Amino acid sequence: MTLGLMRAGLLGGVVKLDTFDLLGSAESTSGTDVYFSLTGLDTSSYSDLKIIIDWNSTGTGVMYGYIRFYDSNGVKTTGYYSLNQLLRSGTDLKSRTQNSDKSFTQESVTYGYPQSIMEIDVSYANTSDNETSWSFNDVINGGAGARVGGGQHRNLDYVLTGVDLYTVPESDSSSRIGAGSNIKVYGYKA
């Protein structure tokens, strides 16, 4: 699904196309979700994606958030995300390497403060020639923390068709994804 941003313009005497397109969006409305999905993306013409996740949580408990991608068959990919990141949260500055978990960005914590914003640039989204590869910037904990990093999905080349935001509230927390949290995916048309 391509929405509205494609247009033609006259620049420098040459007609060129603006081909940075919104491919889809999803919003969590219930206020009780622990995850929400954006699936069915047609990324076949888009080599690079920009994913913007703007989410907040209800309550005041700690929540961990992470991302999963969907492959070309619409199947959630659960194997071998690899990443390196540097995280600043409160007074802590720490880096984290993760090679074999089923997800990535598992330290995306919130403490009930709106909001957390994550920007993920994805390369090789529409090709099986290179493993899907990403770079991310993340504002967490209501702006009290930030993170930069990147990674690859190892041993799995696929055309990306969707993305989920998952959360894991701490065991004694009733916090959930807040209403209005949303994912938007934009594509760079190759």
Partner 1 sequence: MALIKINDFSATSVTNFDLDNIFTTDYDVYDIKINSIDMVNTTNAQIKMQFIDTSGSIVNTSTYYRTSFIFNTTNDTWNYSSNQSGTEFNWWLGGAADDTEGMQNITIFEPQNANVYTTGMFNANGWHTSGFVYVQKGGLREDTQQAVRGIRLFSEMDFNSVSATVWGYSKS
Residues that bind partner 1 (CB under 8 A): 7, 9, 11-12, 16-20, 47-48, 82-86, 94-97, 99, 121, 123-124, 127, 129-131, 133-135, 148-152, 154, 157, 188-190
The residue among 18 and 170 lying less far from partner 1, judged by its C-beta, is 18
The residue among 31 and 154 lying less far from partner 1, judged by its C-beta, is 154
Structure tokens at 41: 């993306």
Which residue's structure tokens are 């990147």? 150
Q: How far apart are CA 169 and CA 161, in angstroms?
A: 27
Smallest gap from Cβ 24 to partner 1, in A, equals 18
Q: Say which DSSP state 113 is in.
A: -
Task: Identify whether the C-beta of residue 158 lies closer than 8 Å to the C-beta of residue 131.
Answer: no
Smallest gap from Cβ 152 to partner 1, in A, equals 5
The residue among 12 and 172 lying less far from partner 1, judged by its C-beta, is 12
Smallest gap from Cβ 81 to partner 1, in A, equals 9
Smallest gap from Cβ 28 to partner 1, in A, equals 28
The residue among 2 and 19 lying less far from partner 1, judged by its C-beta, is 19
From residue 159, give the alpha-carbon distance in Å to each of 64, 86, 167.
27, 28, 24
Structure tokens at 15: 């007609």
Structure tokens at 16: 């060129």
Task: Identify whether the C-beta of residue 63 lies closer than 8 Å to the C-beta of residue 109.
Answer: yes
The residue among 32 and 97 lying less far from partner 1, judged by its C-beta, is 97
Smallest gap from Cβ 77 to partner 1, in A, equals 15
Cross-strand bridge partners of residue 80: none
